[in-house]
Amino acid sequence: MPAKGKSRVSPEQRRKIAAGRVAGQTAREIACEVGLSESAVKKQVIDPRTKTLIQRFKDRHEAELQEILKLGVESIKRRLKHSDPAVQCQATRDALRYSESGDPPLARLDPAEDRGGDFTLEELLVVYRRHESAGS
């Protein structure tokens, strides 16, 4: 077992994990290639060192990635205008994926409960509007 704070994943494995993520491979596919467990790959994908490798790759190939993105958007536009509803439906799904790509995942929060003092933004706005209308 490695010393506390040390990683079992070699720099070469980390580079392969980063390359796999950029290529769009799943954690399972990367795990088979690298020889690690799927859970180890998932942990390494969120490791700051791996994220740095991924970002460096994206920075080096930014112009190419922009061109790919443009081609993808043009393809989606053409398919949205297609006469076949199935093609339009798939294009809509692709458009949603494109619009969310690169954004951090949305936080999945449970609704606030009255106890504990937590408020949702909607509840806070309702109280604010009531206060504003009472003051006018």
Q: What pLDDT score was predicted for residue 114?
A: 53
Q: Which one-letter amino acid corresponds to residue 79? A: R
Q: What pLDDT score was predicted for residue 86?
A: 93
Under the phi-then-psi rule, with left for phi > 0, alpha for psi from -120 to 50, and beta for the rest, what region is 110?
Answer: beta
- The rounded average pLDDT for each run of 10 residues, N- to C-terminus, in the chain (136 residues) is 65 92 89 92 91 88 85 92 92 84 57 59 80 75
- Give the 3-state secondary structure of the chain: CCCCCCCCCCHHHHHHHHHHHHCCCCHHHHHHHHCCCHHHHHHHHCCHHHHHHHHHHHHHCHHHHHHHHHHHHHHHHHHHCCCCHHHHHHHHHHHHHHHHCCCCCCCCCCCCCCCCCCCCHHHHHHHHHHHHHHHC
